[in-house]
């Protein structure tokens, strides 16, 4: 009778260990699945937000030919400036990766600043309503692009932090989640602004 009781308690211990192991394995598995799904969602948010920036860049890209055509008649002596905008637009059209698109965006922004600065010295162009509308539209798009870039950077930062945190970094490594680059400020935006009160 005692041997039966000892055998019964041994079976109970074995069943208890098996149940405990199953509970722990289920909890760990559920945690890993939850972290993986969170990383997928964060990565998707980064992609969606970059697509929002890209959509605005495309809108700006589509407005540039109209702006160049409007300026051509007034700015015969500024062909280099107009060619710079055209070249920057071509760079955007040929950009494939987010990094290339970012670089092309900076190139377009820089050439637009030059174009608008040159236009300030051309009273006839400044008086052209079509130019003024296009300038307003592109300036509005520039403001929207800046806002979307900031949101993208926040999203990329949250994602990058999460894939670097322990133990999520192990799941990120196994799932091949790689960091997203931040959208840098253009070098032209870091330059000093020349102010003249002449």
**pLDDT tens digits, 38-61:** 999 999 999 999 999 999 999 998
Inter-residue contact 151 to 59 (CB < 8 Å): no
Cβ contacts of 158 within 8 Å, gap of 6 or more: 42, 45
Inter-residue contact 109 to 142 (CB < 8 Å): yes
Residue 196 lies in a domain: no
Residue 194 lies in a domain: no
- Is the preceding omega at residue 167 within 30 degrees of 0, hence cis? yes
| Confidence band for 113, pLDDT divided at 50, 70 and 90 | confident
Residue 130 lies in a domain: yes
Note the helical H segments in 73-128: 79-94, 98-119, 123-127
In the DSSP assignment, the letter for residue 121 is T
Q: What does the pLDDT read at residue 169?
A: 95
User: 103 lies in which domain range?
Assistant: 2-181
- Domain of 86, CATH number, reads 1.20.1440.20
Cβ contacts of 29 within 8 Å, gap of 6 or more: none
Q: How far, rounded to the nearest angstrom, does the alpha carbon of residue 63 sit from its chain's CA centroid?
A: 22
Domain tally, the chain: 1
pLDDT by residue (tens digit) across 65-89? 988 888 887 777 678 888 888 898 8
Residue 43 lies in a domain: yes
Note the helical H segments in the chain: 2-72, 79-94, 98-119, 123-127, 129-164, 168-174, 187-190
Q: What is the pTM of this model?
A: 0.77
In the DSSP assignment, the letter for residue 176 is T
191-198 mean pLDDT: 43
| Confidence band for 197, pLDDT divided at 50, 70 and 90 | very low
Residue 123 lies in a domain: yes
Q: What does the pLDDT read at residue 1?
A: 47
Residue 54 lies in a domain: yes
């Amino acid at each position: 009778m005692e041997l039966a009781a000892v055998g019964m308690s041994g079976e109970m211990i074995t069943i208890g260990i098996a149940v405990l192991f199953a509970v722990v394995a289920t909890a760990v598995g559920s945690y890993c699945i939850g972290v993986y799904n969170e990383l997928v969602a964060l990565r998707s948010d980064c992609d969606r937000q970059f697509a929002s920036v890209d959509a605005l860049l495309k809108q700006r890209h589509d407005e540039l030919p109209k702006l160049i055509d409007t300026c051509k008649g007034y700015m015969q002596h500024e062909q280099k400036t107009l060619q710079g905008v055209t070249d920057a637009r071509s760079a955007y059209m040929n950009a494939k990766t987010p990094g290339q698109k970012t670089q092309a965006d900076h190139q377009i922004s820089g050439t637009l600043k030059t174009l608008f600065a040159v236009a300030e010295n051309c009273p006839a162009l400044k008086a052209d309503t079509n130019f003024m509308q296009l300038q307003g539209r592109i300036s509005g798009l520039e403001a929207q692009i800046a806002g979307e870039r900031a949101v993208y950077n926040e999203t990329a930062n949250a994602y990058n932090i999460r894939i670097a945190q322990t133990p999520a970094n192990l799941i990120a490594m196994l799932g091949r989640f790689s960091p997203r680059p931040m959208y840098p400020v253009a070098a032209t935006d870091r330059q000093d602004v020349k102010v003249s009160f002449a």
